[in-house]
Structure 1
Amino acid sequence: MIRSFALFMFGFVTLIAAQPAISQDAKPKPLKALLVTGGCCHDYGNQKDILKKGIEARAMVEVTQVHTADTTTKARFSLYEDPNWAKGYDVVLHDECTSDVVDQTYVDNILNAHKNGLPAVNLHCAMHSYRLPGKEDWFEFVGIQSAKHGPQKPIEITFIDREHAISKPLENWTTINEELYNNLKVFPAAKPLARGRQDTGKGVDDYVVAWTNQFGKARVFSTTLGHNTETVADARYLDLVTRGLLWSCDKLNAQYHQPLNVSP
């Protein structure tokens, strides 16, 4: 009897001890990301596919695309007309260029989803979108207010927070010809990760180019980099965006993230 009980307990303990290993080895459920692209001044038709492929190659993420062929600053997305537009998604990547869309209800629909806890990633011209007259609503969400950019010249990128989970393994680099956005205001909740330095030919500009933010209940990652398609396709850019996305979802770990510097 004693021997049988001992064998039973040994088997039971062995089974329990094995459970964490099984759980750790199991693949996590992919995050559901919504990528919104379109509007003025950029090659969104190609960039949307580069972003989807690059993110999915680097992380356990399924990217759904919503794209408009409208290339004006007044491009709108019908999904934002619905207050429940973000239902079913774990994170949203805003890659719009729609500075002249200033409908308060429309913008509130976007912001309320994030204020209530939906993580976000903002890319490049998203920082120049939804400029509500006399209000800082959108800028508070992205974390930094910007109003213009410099010439198309290389940007020297330096990570200034080397201990942050997003930037810790990333290397400084110099882009091809790119646009460096200015910083009119850095909001209190924004935490700079990287700065960009650009020789304009008339002087040297130096601004924050990547940062994190807290907006309501949501974690937000933003970068002003990514005007040109060659930059968007750069493995270093895709590494940065992917790590920012996973951080915003609190999933920047070995289960969700693949090795760095895979092909775009």
Structure 2
Amino acid sequence: MSNPRALIFWGGWEGHEPESCASIVSDMLRTEGMEVTSVEGTDVLLTGDLSSYALIVPMVTQVASDKGAIGRLCDAVRRGTGLGGFHGGMGDAFRDSPPYQFMVGGQWVAHPGDIIDYRVEVAQSEHPITTGINSFDYRSEQYFLHVDPGNDVLATTTFSGEHAPETAGTVMPVVWTRRYGKGRVFYSSLGHQAHELSHPEAREILRRGLVWAADTSNAGS
């Protein structure tokens, strides 16, 4: 039996260090027994059978969408390919594509205060992605997103209002899963730059989430 295949496509805004992050995630997935293809740009979405991948990981911030490419990506996920990713690489990938944002379940809109200290609260302790992980402190951009109320939220953060008074008391999803057709979708807003992928809880949530989205035997239910 062949190993499950994963596709990472990376690029866009360099501030998110997409090449370095892609390398880290590639190693993470290979350790999980996946055969990884990592390519720069989005042209890969226009070629080949995307449904042959168990998992697709977008890692592109602020790139223009191609309607045909997004259509093929959405179709692959709808038919059962997993979609997983983090921060702006997935949550701010295609600002001009409502179909992509509908599939993901949210879209970044702000990070008041830029890099700040905040708390991540685990909302579900029995889900395979978060089981055994306690709430934790984190230093990064605290993402304010427009989110689908149908998401299955696994972790949240509460805005203090210090940097944007209108957000005071807002409880914002940080980690969620959802279904899109037959496909599993996982998203975490953690991971602004490559060094953050060494944060123990953030890294473990990402690892488990990607495996869950790929729907391999190690992912739980």
TM bin (shorter chain): 0.7 to 0.9
**Conservation of the 8 A alpha-carbon contact between 1:145 and 1:186:** no
Structure 2 CA distance for aligned equivalents of residues 145 and 46 of structure 1: 23
User: Which residue identity lines up with residue 60 of structure 1 in the other structure?
Assistant: G
Residues 1-264 of structure 1 correspond to what in structure 2 (within 5 A)? 29-40=2-13, 41-57=15-31, 59-68=32-41, 77-82=42-47, 84-99=48-63, 101-125=64-88, 126-132=90-96, 136-150=98-112, 151-176=114-139, 178-188=140-150, 190-199=151-160, 201-202=162-163, 203=165, 204=168, 206-251=171-216, 253=218
Cα distance in 1, alignment partners of residues 178 and 111 from structure 2: 21
Structure 1 portions without partners, runs of 5+: 1-27, 69-76, 258-264
Cα gap change, 1:200 to 1:229, in 2 (>3 Å)? farther
What is the aligned-residue RMSD (CA, Å)?
A: 2.4
Gaps of 5+ in 2: none
State the shift of 1:85 in Å: 4.4
Instruction: Identify if the C-alpha distance between structure 1 residues 185 and 237 changes in structure 2 by more than 3 Å, giving closer, same or farther.
Output: closer
How many residue pairs match? The answer is 213
Write the deviation string for residues 159-189 of structure 1: whole angstroms up to 9, x where unpaired: 101121211122222122x11221323242x
Contact 2:9 2:44 in 1 (8 A): no
How far did 1:92 drift? Answer: 0.9
Contact 1:213 1:220 in 2 (8 A): yes
TM-score, scaled relative to structure 2 = 0.84
* 1-structure distance, mates of 2:146, 2:51: 33
Q: Which structure has greater strand proportion?
A: 2
SS in structure 2 at match of 1:146? strand
TM superposition shift of 1:196? 2.1
The one-letter amino acid of 1:65's match is S
Q: Which amino acid aligns with 1:193?
A: L
CA spacing shift, 1:30–1:198, aligned 2, 3 Å: farther
1:48·1:65 contact (CA, 8 Å) conserved in 2? yes
Q: TM-score, normalised by structure 1?
A: 0.72
1:215 Cα offset (Å):
0.6
For residue 122 of structure 1, report the CA deviation from its aligned partner.
Answer: 2.5
Q: Any idea what the Cα deviations from partners look like across 1:55-80, whole Å, max 9, x if unmatched? A: 433x2223221124xxxxxxxx2212
Identity of aligned residues (%): 21
| Rg (Cα) greater in structure | 1
Which residue identity lines up with residue 196 of structure 1 in the other structure? T
Q: Distance in 2 between matches of 1:35 and 1:131?
A: 19
Whether the 8 Å contact between 2:122 and 2:134 is mirrored in structure 1 is yes
